[in-house]
C-alpha cells in the first residue's frame, strides 16, 4: 500500500512540475503550434497538388509548403524522441529531412506561374533545383559511413562522422539563406515590373504580401544566422533560444500561405477564361504579327512600351500575348522587347557615324529607359558588357 502511495506521490510531483512550470507550459505551447502547422501544411499541400482545378502554380506552392512542413516535422519529432527505437533513428539518419535549397526557386516560380498562365518550367529552369545537393550531403555522408562499416572498409567509429555532419549542418545554412534571399529579390523585382504593366491583375496584392512576409522571415533568419555560424556562440544560442526563432516564423508562413494560397487557387481558377487559349495556328499568326509591328513599326523604341500597350496595339488580351511569348518563344515581355533594342544598339555602336556618342546615349536612343536596365539586358543577350563587346568587334574587324 505504501509503495502505491509513494508512486502516486511521485506522479503527482512530476505532473505538478510540468503543469505549473512556466517554461514547460510555454515550451509545450510553442511545440503544439509547430505541430499544428505541420499538420495543416501537409493537408493543404495535398489539396493543392491533387485538386482537379489545380494549375502548375498550385503544385509549386504545394511542394513549397510540403518542404516547410517536412523540416518542421523533423524538429518536432526530435523534441519528443519519435525516433526512439534504434531502427527508426538509423533510418532517419539516412534520409534528408531539411530540404531548403528549393525554397527560393519554388517561391519565385510560383509567383511567375500564378501571374502568367503560359509560364512553364523549362529544362534550363529545372537546373536551378540542382542546388538541392547542398541539402543531401549530410544524408550522403551517413550513407557512406554505414555502407563502409558494412563492407568493413570504414572502422565503426561514428564520432568523427557525426562531427563532420554537425559542422556541415551549421554552415550549410549560409547558402540556404543566400539562395532564398536571391529568389525573393527576383520575385520582388518581377512583381514591380509586372505591376507597371498590369496594375489591376487579380491576386497581385496577395503575391506582394507573400513577398513582404518572406522578406521579414529572411530578416529574422539573418539575425539568428549571424551568431549561429560563430562556433563559440552556436551551442549557447541554441541552448537559450533553441530553433524557435526560425521555426515559429516558418510555421506562420505555413499557416498563412496555406490558407490564403488555397483560397486564391480557387478564386483564380474561377476567373480563368478559356477564350485566352490559342491554337497553334492562331499563335503562329500572332507571332508573325508581333514580328511585323516590332521590325517595321519599331515599337520597341518607345521606352514606355508595356505588355498592355503592345497587346492593345495588336488587338489581343495581354494575358494571351504573355502566354504566347512564354510558350512559343520561351521569353517574357521584357526579354522579347529588349532583344530588339540590343540588336539595334549593336548596329549603332559599330557604325562609325556614332563614334562621338556615348554608350548611354545610344542605349536611350534604342528604347532603354535606364542605364542599369540596358547593362543587364545587354549582358543577358550577348554575354558581354557593352564596352567588352565593342572592343571585341573592333579587334575582329
Q: 95-134 as b/e, with b when 16 or more CB fall inside 10 Å? A: eebbbbbbbbbbbbbbbbbbbbbbbeeeeeeeebeebeeb
- What pLDDT is recorded for position 347? 85
Give the orientation angle of helix 22-50 with respect to helix 244-271, to 10 degrees.
30
- What pLDDT is recorded for position 384? 82
Q: 27-36 as b/e, with b when 16 or more CB fall inside 10 Å? A: eeebbebbbe
Closest-CA residue to 101 (of 182, 35, 166, 38): 182
State pLDDT tens for residues 215-271. Answer: 999 999 999 999 999 988 888 888 888 888 999 999 999 999 998 888 887 765 444
| In the chain, where the domains are located | 23-272, 275-396
CATH 1.20.1070 fits 23-272, yes or no: yes
Count CA within 13 A, CB hemisphere, residue 354: 17
CA 377/CA 189 separation, integer angstroms: 14
Closest-CA residue to 162 (of 231, 93, 246): 93
Length of the chain as a residue count: 397
- SS3 at position 1: coil
Question: Are 71 and 248 within 8 A, CB to CB?
Answer: no
User: Residues in the chain with pLDDT < 50?
Assistant: 1-2, 4-21, 269-275
Q: What is the DSSP letter of 383?
A: S
Closest-CA residue to 107 (of 176, 161, 196): 176
Q: Taking the alpha carbons of 259, 265, 268, 270 in that order, is the dihedral positive or negative?
A: negative
CA 342/CA 248 separation, integer angstroms: 47
Q: What is the DSSP letter of 264?
A: H
CA 386/CA 380 separation, integer angstroms: 11
CATH of domain 275-396: 1.10.10.60
- The number of beta carbons lying within 10 Å of the beta carbon of residue 393 is 13
Q: Is the pTM above the cut of 0.75?
A: no
- What pLDDT is recorded for position 275? 43
CA 341/CA 279 separation, integer angstroms: 29
CA 119/CA 332 separation, integer angstroms: 9
State pLDDT tens for residues 261-274. Answer: 888 877 654 444 44
- What pLDDT is recorded for position 221? 94
CA 41/CA 255 separation, integer angstroms: 7
Amino acid at each position: 500500500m505504501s509503495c502505491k502511495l509513494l508512486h502516486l506521490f511521485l506522479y503527482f510531483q512530476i505532473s505538478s512540475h510540468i503543469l505549473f512550470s512556466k517554461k514547460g507550459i510555454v515550451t509545450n505551447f510553442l511545440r503544439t503550434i509547430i505541430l499544428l502547422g505541420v499538420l495543416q501544411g501537409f493537408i493543404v499541400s495535398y489539396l493543392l497538388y491533387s485538386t482537379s482545378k489545380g494549375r502548375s502554380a498550385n503544385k509549386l506552392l504545394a511542394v513549397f509548403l510540403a518542404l516547410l512542413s517536412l523540416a518542421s516535422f523533423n524538429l518536432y519529432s526530435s523534441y519528443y524522441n519519435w525516433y526512439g527505437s534504434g531502427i527508426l533513428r538509423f533510418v532517419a539518419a539516412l534520409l534528408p529531412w531539411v530540404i531548403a535549397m528549393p525554397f527560393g526557386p519554388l517561391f519565385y516560380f510560383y509567383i511567375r506561374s500564378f501571374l502568367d498562365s503560359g509560364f512553364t518550367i523549362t529544362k534550363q529552369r529545372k537546373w536551378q533545383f540542382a542546388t538541392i545537393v547542398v541539402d543531401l550531403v549530410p544524408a550522403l555522408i551517413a550513407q557512406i559511413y554505414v555502407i563502409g562499416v558494412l563492407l568493413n572498409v570504414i572502422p565503426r567509429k561514428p564520432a568523427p562522422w557525426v562531427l563532420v555532419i554537425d559542422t556541415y549542418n551549421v554552415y550549410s545554412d549560409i547558402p540556404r539563406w543566400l539562395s532564398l534571399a536571391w529568389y525573393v529579390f527576383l520575385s520582388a523585382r518581377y512583381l514591380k515590373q509586372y505591376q507597371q504593366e498590369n496594375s489591376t491583375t487579380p491576386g497581385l496584392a496577395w503575391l506582394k504580401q507573400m513577398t513582404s512576409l518572406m522578406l521579414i522571415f529572411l530578416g529574422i533568419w539573418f539575425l539568428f544566422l549571424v551568431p549561429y555560424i560563430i562556433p563559440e556562440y552556436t551551442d549557447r544560442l541554441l541552448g537559450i533560444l533553441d530553433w524557435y526563432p526560425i521555426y515559429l516564423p516558418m510555421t506562420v508562413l505555413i499557416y498563412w500561405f496555406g490558407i490564403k494560397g488555397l483560397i486564391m487557387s480557387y478564386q483564380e481558377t474561377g476567373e480563368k477564361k478559356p477564350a485566352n487559349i490559342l491554337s497553334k495556328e492562331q499563335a503562329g499568326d500572332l507571332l508573325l504579327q508581333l514580328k511585323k509591328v516590332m521590325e517595321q513599326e519599331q515599337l520597341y523604341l518607345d521606352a514606355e512600351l508595356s505588355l498592355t500597350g503592345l497587346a492593345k496595339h495588336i488587338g489581343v488580351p495581354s494575358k494571351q500575348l504573355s502566354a504566347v511569348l512564354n510558350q512559343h518563344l520561351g521569353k517574357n515581355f521584357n526579354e522579347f522587347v529588349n532583344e530588339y533594342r540590343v540588336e539595334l544598339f549593336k548596329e549603332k555602336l559599330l557604325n562609325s557615324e556614332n563614334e562621338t556618342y556615348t554608350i548611354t546615349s545610344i542605349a536611350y536612343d534604342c528604347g532603354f529607359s535606364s542605364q542599369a536596365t540596358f547593362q543587364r539586358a545587354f549582358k543577358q543577350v550577348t554575354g558581354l558588357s557593352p564596352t567588352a563587346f565593342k572592343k571585341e568587334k573592333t579587334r575582329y574587324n
